[in-house]
Amino acid sequence: MPLDLSPFSDAGLDGATLATLLDTHRAADAPRLTRLWRYYRNPVLNERDARTGAVRRRLAQIAGLPSRLTQPVPDDDRHPTEREIVIENDIAWRLHTLLDLMLGRPPVLLSTSPDEETRAAVQAILDAVLENAGGIALLQDAALLSSVFGHVDFLLRAEDLFTTPIPTSARNDPRAAIEFARLLRVEVIEPTRAIPVLSPDDFRQLSVYIIHFTRPSTATGGAGASPGRQSLLAGLRDRLNIAAPTPTTEGVLELFSATHHQRYEDGRLVFDSPNPIGVLPVVHIQNLTQPFRYEGLSEVEPLIPLQDELNTRLSDRANRVTLQSFKLLLAKGLEDDAPVRAVSPGQVWMTSNPDASIQAFGGDAASPSEDNHIQQIREAMDKTSTVNPLAAGLIRARVGQLSSENALRITLLGALNKTTRKQVAFGKGLAHLAELILRALDRVGLFPTTPADRGVTVQWPDPIPRNERDRLDAARLKIELGVPRERVLAELGYAPNENAIT
The pLDDT score that the predictor gives to residue 416 is 87
- Of the two residues 77 and 47, the one the predictor is more confident about is 47
Q: How far apart are the first and last CA of the chain?
A: 51
The pLDDT score that the predictor gives to residue 502 is 41
When pLDDT is averaged across residues 334-357 and rounded to a whole number, the result is 71
- pLDDT higher than 70, residue 120: yes
Residue 379 pLDDT level (bands cut at 50, 70, 90): very high
The pLDDT score that the predictor gives to residue 239 is 56
Contacts of 446 (CB under 8 A, 6+ apart): 166, 170, 171, 172, 176, 177, 180, 181
Q: Phi and psi (nearest 5°) for 347?
A: -85, 135
% of residues, the chain, pLDDT over 90: 47
When pLDDT is averaged across residues 407-420 and rounded to a whole number, the result is 81
User: Rounded to the nearest 10 degrees, what angle do helices 116-133 and 136-149 cross at?
Assistant: 70
Q: How far is CA 134 from CA 66, 139, 177, 323, 332, in A?
A: 42, 8, 19, 52, 74
Choice among 43-57, 167-181, 191-205, 419-433 with the minimum mean pLDDT: 43-57
The pLDDT score that the predictor gives to residue 499 is 43
Q: How many CA atoms lie within 13 A of 347 on its CB side?
A: 8
Give me the chain's average pLDDT, please: 83
Domains of the chain: which residue ranges? 1-8+190-280, 89-186+283-324+374-502
When pLDDT is averaged across residues 451-455 and rounded to a whole number, the result is 93
The pLDDT score that the predictor gives to residue 424 is 93
Residue 3 pLDDT level (bands cut at 50, 70, 90): confident
Residue 164 and residue 441: Cα distance in Å, rounded? Answer: 13
pLDDT in tens, 148-190: 999 999 999 999 999 888 888 878 788 888 888 889 999 999 9
Residue 466 pLDDT level (bands cut at 50, 70, 90): low
Q: How many CA atoms lie within 13 A of 50 on its CB side?
A: 4
- pLDDT higher than 90, residue 324: no
- pLDDT higher than 70, residue 467: no
The pLDDT score that the predictor gives to residue 156 is 96
Give the rounded distance of the alpha carbon of 163 from its chain centre: 33
When pLDDT is averaged across residues 445-466 and rounded to a whole number, the result is 87
Residue 355 and residue 334: Cα distance in Å, rounded? Answer: 9
Choice among 228-232, 331-335, 344-348, 359-363 with the minimum mean pLDDT: 228-232
- Of the two residues 226 and 310, the one the predictor is more confident about is 310
- pLDDT higher than 70, residue 78: no
Give the rounded distance of the alpha carbon of 203 from its chain centre: 25
Choice among 27-31, 138-142, 162-166, 253-257 with the minimum mean pLDDT: 162-166
When pLDDT is averaged across residues 385-405 and rounded to a whole number, the result is 67
- pLDDT higher than 70, residue 226: no
The pLDDT score that the predictor gives to residue 497 is 52
Residue 171 and residue 134: Cα distance in Å, rounded? Answer: 26
The pLDDT score that the predictor gives to residue 311 is 96
Contacts of 130 (CB under 8 A, 6+ apart): 109, 138, 139, 186
Residue 56 and residue 45: Cα distance in Å, rounded? Answer: 8
When pLDDT is averaged across residues 299-309 and rounded to a whole number, the result is 96
- Of the two residues 323 and 269, the one the predictor is more confident about is 269
Q: Choose among 130, 131, 185: nearest CA to 156.
A: 185
- pLDDT higher than 90, residue 472: no
pLDDT in tens, 276-301: 999 999 999 999 888 888 899 999 99
The pLDDT score that the predictor gives to residue 227 is 54
Q: Choose among 188, 184, 207, 255: nearest CA to 442.
A: 184
- pLDDT higher than 90, residue 35: yes
